[in-house]
Structure formats: structure tokens, C-alpha cells
Amino acid sequence: MTAPHTNVQKISEMASRHLSSLSVDCVVFGFHKNEMKVLLLKIPYKDEWALPGGFILRDESAENAASRILKERTGLDGVFLRQFHVFSDPGRVKPRDHRDNLTRMNIPENDIKWLCSRFVTIGFYALVDYTRAVPTPDEFTTRSEWRDLTDPGMLMMDHRVIVNTALDTLRLQLNNLPIGYNLLREKFTMPELQKLYETILGRKLDRRNFQRKILSYRILLRLDERKTGVAHKAPVLYRFDYDGYHRALEEGLKGGF
Amino acid sequence: MTAPHTNVQKISEMASRHLSSLSVDCVVFGFHKNEMKVLLLKIPYKDEWALPGGFILRDESAENAASRILKERTGLDGVFLRQFHVFSDPGRVKPRDHRDNLTRMNIPENDIKWLCSRFVTIGFYALVDYTRAVPTPDEFTTRSEWRDLTDPGMLMMDHRVIVNTALDTLRLQLNNLPIGYNLLREKFTMPELQKLYETILGRKLDRRNFQRKILSYRILLRLDERKTGVAHKAPVLYRFDYDGYHRALEEGLKGGF
């Protein structure tokens, strides 16, 4: 069987070019029409999706590998990207399943052997601008798509666990780090920002408490403009204060002891 | 040259028993006389200290490897142990330095070759009961000691960065997770708990704010006892509420949105 839509010819001598036993998987979040999206790749011959991922070159850090993979899969660089957890359950790959599919894709046997060995994967999550990302498949896949986070379809291996852990991390980090810079348009209303938080948290927030709390972090600038084309009272526009936002990224939000 | 105090004979065929490219390092924190301590191993022939660490067996998760290593180095199990960061800078090991020392220790050449290859290390931090831990050296070292966190001596490789990153993580996690269970005696006073937080954070806290905040988390039980043998007014004793504490470990402290 041939694999006309994939680029398996690019794969060769995987073992000699990469660190053994280690991979990187990226949970790429986007926000569109009040829904959280996750970028996934369609596995050929199977009704399964996979996270964008790859391996670490011999002279590369895990962070650089993740940035490289993210750039290849979305066209974007310089985005918020952060390691969040290592997944190392020895049973996380079913080598038999994996081998069957790789064999169908005409991948060289020595590479299949390497690809079917045990990998510990480092999970990274990224927050990207949905409108600017260009989903691009990798050598093993034919299609890349934004999928609804709440209903992404069947995910391969432990990728659903990886997505859920990334989401849990993101929810916890809302209390420590500013968020929204890559997820919203440059100017936004307070209800739009609240909706982003509600979508990530999966629950409603009190309007007054949210506004009080988010303003106390000093990461927003209130603009002397109002949103146009709105039926009723036009809401005030905000944008992120670049200095305040980046200081909070470095030092954490002042919500603690 | 011989290495009479180390157990290098235990080392053999490292490569066949472990995953390649991956190691685990544990930052083990203890608290004693109002000082934070960190457990370190003395490197032979050098004025350098190392974190307790090791490799991941072929059928073992990173978590189990870290637990096993922690048990071997302290005699303790069931302690709070959590992965916090992966260190993957390709320049983190100086293979030449490393090789010189391993050669002096009479380690077999094929193991030296493996030990001097590039490793990405998964950092774990642990909070342990200082009084119960029995510091125990590993196959490469002759001595294990609790060292002052503020002045631990010279650390090998990037181990100082690993310790600092663990401390930063611990400081951030004070806002999300309860702490103290393995660090304080069973019964303690509010000033003793506050002192633990101050020591971890490296700064003074306001007494009233601290008390209000920590009580709001519902992780403490106020006992009907007072500390004895104290000169002036005897302070009330508290202990952790097991259920509340473990619920907070699972769900996070309610300090967020």
C-alpha cells in the first residue's frame, strides 16, 4: 500500500539525528467565536487524531524542538509556549498498533523500529492567534485542523490525557499568569475578556468580581474608545498594557501571600 | 586510583537497563530550626555537591524512578514528590570534566561512555520530614548531607539552576497548594506555620493577613491545647485537617477566579 499524501520520504535515520527515548508533544490552543480550539493532525487509515509533536535533535533543547515543531505546524513563531508535564507511563504506546500503521506508510524498517521504541514525551502548551495560524500536517499525516476542545474526536495513545492535563495547567495558571495576549484581538471589551476566562475555566464568573480582579493586576489599558456596531450601550474597549503584561509574565500576578 | 568508599561495583551495563538520554534529579527540601535545607551528595575528588538523581529503568515511569531514588537516598516513601521542570540545554554537561572523575572511580569504560552522553533531566521536588530522613550516598558518592538552602556550597553542572527553579516553583505553588504536612511537627503554632511560609518565600509576611488567608483555606484544625514551656502567653496549637488538606492538594486552594 502506498501513502501518496504523506511525506515519508523525508524520514530516514531517525535514530542518528535525534535523542532516543524522548519526544515532544504540543497542545496548541486557539480561541474562536467563544470556543476553545485545539490543533490536531489526522492519522492516516484511522479515525484518530494526534497532537503536533516530534523529536529532539542531537544539539537542540526541548524548548527549541517545541518551537520548531510549532512553527512547522502553524507558521507562527514567538508565541507563548511552555512545558507543563512529562508523560512517562511505560504503557503509553501500543507498539503493535503503531507498527501496523507505520508499515502501511512505507516507512523504512529501521525507522519503524526506532519509532516503536518506548518514548517519554514532554508536553508543551501554546496559546496562538487562531486567525494567523496556518494548520499544516507533518510527515506522518495528511491533514491538520482546529478541533473543538470539548469534542475533538478520538485521540491516539494518551493524547487525550495530555490535552486534559494542559487544560488543567492553563486553568491553574490563570491565577498566576496573565492570559489573552495571543487569544484575543488587539482591542477587546471587558465582556469579551471575561468570556475567554469563562471558556477556559468551563464555568460562569461574576461580572463585578471578574472586573475588579482583572483590573487589580494592572495588565490592562482602558482606551478612550467604545466598540462600534453594537445594538445597545457601546462597551468600552481595552488593550493589554505591554509592560504590565510582561512584568506579570515574569513575576506572576500579585494574588498570593 | 581506587575508590574504596563508593559502590562502583554495583554499576554495570547501565545502557541496557535504563532509558537513554533521560535522567531524574530530585530537589529534596527539609525544614529545620527555621531554615530550609536541601539534601545533597558529595562528589568524590572534588569540592562539589550533586542532587540525588538517577536513571529510569526500561519498564519504569519517571515518577516511580524518582520515588525509588528518594527512598534509596532518604529511607522515606510516600512523601510529597512532584515533577516541576525538564532541563534540556544541550550544554548542561561538560563531558570532559565528567569523564575525568568517572575514570578515577574505576567505572567500566562502556558505562562511562553512556554516563557521558547527553542527558535531559526531569526535575522533581520533594518535601520531607527532616527528622525522619536518613541521608544515604549513592554508588557515585561517599557522603550525603542536609545543606543550608541559602549556602549549600558549589553544585555540579546545572544543579544550582535546578534547585533555584524548584524553589521558584514551590513559591508559586504556595498560592495553589497546601504545604507544611511533611515539614512541620504534627502540632504547631500559627507563628511556626507563618515562619515556614516566610522561610520559603524569603520575606516577612503580615501576621493578620497570613492568619486570615491560611484559615480561609480550611486546611487547619484549631486544637483545644496550647504550647507548653513558652515564657509568655502560651500560643494555641493547630494541626492539619487531613481531609481538607488532601482535598486542597487535589483541587487547589480557592484563591483564584
A200-235: per-residue pLDDT in tens?
Answer: 888 899 999 999 989 988 899 999 888 877 667 788
> Angle, nearest 10°, between helix axes A190-201 and A207-216?
100
* CB contacts, 8 Å: B161 with chain A: none
Query: Among residues of chain B, what percentage have pLDDT more than 70?
Result: 93
Give the DSSP letter string of A220-254.
Answer: EEEEEEE-SS-SSSPPEEEEE-HHHHHHHHHH--S
> Cα separation of A160 and A28, whole Å?
13
CA A167 – CA A36 distance, rounded (Å): 10
Check CB contact under 8 Å for A257 and B210: yes
Contact, A30 vs A128, CB < 8 A? yes
Inter-chain touch A255–B88, beta carbons under 8 Å: no
**One-character DSSP codes across chain A:** ---TTS-GGG---HHHHEEEEEEEEEEEEEEETTEEEEEEEEPTTSS-EE--EEEEETT--HHHHHHHHHHHHHS--S-EEEEEEEE--TTS--HHHHHHHHHHTT--HHHHHHHTS--EEEEEEEE--TTT------TT-SEEEEEETTS---BSTTHHHHHHHHHHHHHHHTTTS---TTTS-SSEEHHHHHHHHHHHHTS---HHHHHHHHHHTT-EEEEEEE-SS-SSSPPEEEEE-HHHHHHHHHH--S---
Q: How far apart are the first and last CA of chain A?
A: 61
Give the domain ranges of chain B. 8-174, 186-251
Contact B139, B156 (CB under 8 A): no
Burial A7-22 (b: 16+ CB within 10 A, else e): ebeebeebeeebbbbb
Q: Taking the CB of residue B71, how many other CB atoms lie within 10 A of it?
A: 14
For residue A11, is pLDDT > 80? no
Report which secondary-structure segment, H or E, holds B18. strand B18-32
Query: Which residues in chain A are contacts of B252 at CB distance < 8 A?
Result: 172
Residues in chain B with CB shorter than 8 Å from the CB of A201 are 257
Contacts of A86 in chain B (CB under 8 A): 62, 83, 86, 122
Q: What confidence tens digit (pLDDT) does each residue in B7-45 have?
A: 555 567 888 899 999 999 999 999 988 889 999 999 988
Q: Which of B60, B90, B201 sits opposite A90 (nearest CB)?
A: B60
Beta bridge partners of A31: A36
* B205/A89 Cβ within 8 A: no
Q: Average per-residue pLDDT in chain B?
A: 88
Least reliable range by pLDDT among A22-36, A226-240, B179-193: A226-240
| Contacts of A82 by beta carbon, 8 Å cutoff, 6+ apart | A124, A125, A126
For the domain covering B186-251, report its CATH number: 1.10.10.10
- CB contact at 8 A, A49 and A138: no
Q: What is the pLDDT of residues B225-247, one digit of tens each?
A: 888 776 677 889 999 998 988 88
Q: For B50-61, how does the pLDDT look when each residue is reduced to its tens digit (9 = 90+)?
A: 999 999 999 999
Q: Rounded to an integer, what distance in angstroms lies between the CA atom of residue B31 and that of residue A120?
A: 33
Dihedral pair phi/psi, residue A113, rounded to 5°? -60, -45
- Best A64, A86, A195 member to test B by mutation, with max B CBs in 10 Å, is A86
Instruction: Answer whether A175's CB lies under 8 Å from B255's CB.
Output: yes
> In this complex, which of B213, B256, B257 lies closest to A257 when CB atoms are compared?
B213
Q: CA of B138, closest CA in chain A: separation in Å? A: 24
B66 neighbors B27 (Cβ within 8 angstroms): no
Chain B nearest C-alpha distance from A19 (Å): 6
Who among B19, B56, B175 is closest to A257 (CB)?
B175
Residue A118 burial class via C-beta count within 10 angstroms: exposed 0-12, middle 13-18, buried 19 and up: middle
Taking an 8 Å cut-off on Cβ atoms, the answer to whether A120 and B90 are in contact is no
Three cell numbers written together for B13: 551495563
Cα–Cα dist B79/B74, whole Å = 11
Burial (CB count <10 Å: 0-12, 13-18, 19+), residue B23 = buried
Say whether A172 and B22 touch across the interface (CB within 8 A).
no
Nearest partner of B33 among B190, B166, B199, judged by Cα = B199
Name which CATH class applies to A8-174: alpha beta
Q: Measure CB to CB from residue A255 to each of B19, B60, B255 and give the nearest one.
A: B255
Taking contacts as CB-CB distances below 8 angstroms, the residues of chain A near B254 are none
Nearest CB to A86 within list B89, B122, B252: B122
Tell me whether domains B8-174 and B186-251 share a fold. no
Chain A nearest-CA residue for B194: A257
Residue A206 corresponds to which cell in the numbers above?
A: 461574576
Chain A residues at the B interface, defined by Cβ less than 8 Å, are 19-22, 56, 58-63, 83, 85-86, 88-90, 118, 120, 122, 172, 174-176, 197, 201, 205, 209-210, 213, 252, 255-257
Task: Encode pLDDT of B75-129 as tens digits.
Answer: 988 888 999 999 999 999 877 777 888 888 888 888 899 998 999 999 999 998 8
Tens digit of each residue's pLDDT (9 = 90 or more) over A45-96: 889 999 999 999 999 999 999 999 999 999 988 888 999 999 999 999 877 7
Interface test with A, best of B24, B86, B200 (most A CBs within 10 A): B86
Interface confidence (ipTM) of the complex: 0.87
